[in-house]
Amino acid sequence: MSTTQTFPKGFLWGGATAANQFEGAWDVDGRGPSVDDHFMGGSFERPREITLAIDPDKLYPNHDGIDFYHHYAEDIALFAEMGFNVFRLSIAWSRIFPNGDDAEPNEAGLAFYDKVFDCCREHDIEPLVTISHYEMPYHLVEKYNGWASRELIGFFERYCETIFDRYQDKVTYWLTFNEINCGTMDMGSMMETGLIQGFEGPASEIHTTAQQRYQALHHQFVASGRVVRLAHERYPQFKVGNMDCFILSYAATCDPKDLIANQAEMRRMNWFCSDIQVRGYYPSYAKRFFEENDVRLEMADGDLDDIAAGKVDFYTFSYYMSGVVGTHDVKKTAGNMTFGGENPYLEKTDWGWQIDPDGLRYALNEIYDRYQIPLMVVENGMGAKDEVTPDGRIHDDYRIAYLRKHVAAMREAVADGVDLMGYTWWGPIDLVSAGTGEMRKRYGFIYVDKHDDGTGSYERIRKDSFYAYQKIIASNGADLD
């Protein structure tokens, strides 16, 4: 039986973005190059290539993004028109500290976000700020090999002190690291951890050891713990969350061995990082995992205290798909930074991501049972090829169907008793794909005339889904027809 219950009063409805995927203006007003500026465009079949130096004859899609830098007022007005009361965005670290290890911040970069946050406030939109979303100043990669170095902790703290102090009256909700748990994966770990020093070539060819990945993550946990503590001590009004890429997986069969295998995968992928950031300590299962994977963490005195003191206030996650894990033959399908097992009961997007709204209800219940703190879905969406029809419109029924099913699933979870604060759709406006660097993998309710070959007028057009989401928000999630 489905519920008739709606969402709590004050529920946060909005959309989520990341600086490197939409701001553009990569070398404007003193901004330094960031990791993503070295990634060329790719596709489903062709991995993105990384170049050591920026080659002016090559196309780097993140350099221009969708030029939010110069369109922010228009874009935020469109979000307000849809009814947003929250907007998730990230700060580009290299706008504030162009090299990452600079002694002083870049005033022009700070001033840009003042304007953006003021504009949000004028529209009664609450900013939700990701401090590090898959990017860091490239200089930190060249000189320190990203989060492999302990020194990054200090640079990150200085960055946070600067933005906390500057925006304390404008921003209340903060997330430390986007999808921190992608750092556990060989593939997909490089954007988060920056472990690409000296690498040139297809991103799929970068490989790291478990030792390197978990050491880099340890530094991020300490850094996150320290800045959460700082926020709590100095700015009691702040709420700081974690952010995980939740990839729900099911055991392929009822063979108990499949359940054990899936439990291990759920721990590695979904629980390990949040157990640390929510509970404040390494989980007991980590010991055996580290032994079996030759991981010996180097820790300094005080690291575990920093982690313990930095427990987050709310749990946030992205949810796009689910997968299957088993010990027998499991067919593989594509996914977010990863490949998972295929589920015969689910449909897929054109990029092979399995669509599973019921899994969102299940995941919300599992997470809430485990942590008992407020939750927020800060990314959910569907990448699809959109067509502008002769009437100048975009009839994206597939996206509307995806949206409604996931909102209905959240409603069920709320009726199940989950404390859910809000929902931010990934890519409310078309932007550059993180995984493939494509523009044609579109997520937006707002179409942007920008294409993979770098051409386009940057014109914004409301898609049919724009009006569908507007209705959902206006009815606080009740109107799903």
The 3-class SS string of 462-475 reads ECHHHHHHHHHHHC
The DSSP bridge pattern shows strands 248-251 and 86-90 to be unpaired
- Which of the stretches 147-155, 203-211, 431-439, 457-465 binds ligand BGP when contact is defined by CB under 6 A? 431-439
- Shortest gap between Cβ of 450 and ligand BGP (angstroms)? 15
Task: Pick from 435, 447, 468, 469 the residue near ligand BGP by CB under 6 A.
Answer: 435
Residue 178 binding ligand BGP, by CB under 6 A: yes
Site for ligand BGP in 328-387 (CB under 6 A): 336, 379, 383
Residue 404 tokens read as: 């409604």
179 is annotated as an active-site residue = yes
Q: Which is closer to ligand BGP, CB of 134 or CB of 362?
A: 134
Q: Which residue among the candidates 23, 379, 412, 438 is catalytic per the annotation?
A: 379
Q: Which residue among the candidates 179, 265, 412, 438 is catalytic per the annotation?
A: 179
- Shortest gap between Cβ of 253 and ligand BGP (angstroms)? 29
Q: Find tokens 């523009």 and name the residue.
A: 439
Please give the DSSP secondary-structure letter assigned to residue 34. Answer: B
- Shortest gap between Cβ of 68 and ligand BGP (angstroms)? 14
Q: Which is closer to ligand BGP, CB of 303 or CB of 396?
A: 396
Backbone angles phi, psi at 101, to 5 degrees: -110, 20
Cα–Cα distance, 137 to 371 (Å, whole number): 33
Residue 130 binding ligand BGP, by CB under 6 A: no
Task: Pick from 230, 376, 434, 472 the residue near ligand BGP by CB under 6 A.
Answer: 434
On whether the CB atoms of residues 20 and 177 are closer than 8 A, the answer is no
Residue 132 binding ligand BGP, by CB under 6 A: no
Residue 106 binding ligand BGP, by CB under 6 A: no
- Shortest gap between Cβ of 440 and ligand BGP (angstroms)? 11
Amino acid at 470: Q
Its sign, for the CA torsion 397, 399, 403, 405, is positive
- Which of the stretches 6-14, 73-81, 121-129, 435-443 binds ligand BGP when contact is defined by CB under 6 A? 435-443
Site string for ligand BGP, 410-429 (x = CB under 6 A): ----------------x---
Query: Could you tell me which of 331, 314, 311 has the C-alpha nearest to residue 323?
Result: 331
Cα–Cα distance, 177 to 238 (Å, whole number): 16
Q: Which is closer to ligand BGP, CB of 89 or CB of 195?
A: 89
Q: Which is closer to ligand BGP, CB of 364 or CB of 434?
A: 434
Q: What phi-psi label fits residue 456: left (phi over 0), alpha (psi between -120 and 50 degrees) or beta?
A: left
Q: Which is closer to ligand BGP, CB of 235 or CB of 353?
A: 353
Site for ligand BGP in 228-257 (CB under 6 A): 245
DSSP string for residues in 290-355: HHHTT------TTHHHHHHHT--SBEEEE---EEEE-SS---EEEETTEEEE--TT-EE-TT-PEE
On whether the CB atoms of residues 14 and 75 are closer than 8 A, the answer is no
Task: Pick from 13, 15, 18, 221 the residue near ligand BGP by CB under 6 A.
Answer: 18
Cα–Cα distance, 169 to 176 (Å, whole number): 18
379 is annotated as an active-site residue = yes
- Shortest gap between Cβ of 463 and ligand BGP (angstroms)? 17
Residue 433 binding ligand BGP, by CB under 6 A: yes
Cα–Cα distance, 305 to 479 (Å, whole number): 47
Residue numbers at the binding site for ligand BGP (CB under 6 A): 18, 21, 134, 178-179, 245, 318, 336, 379, 383, 426, 433-436, 441
- What residues are labeled active site? 179, 379
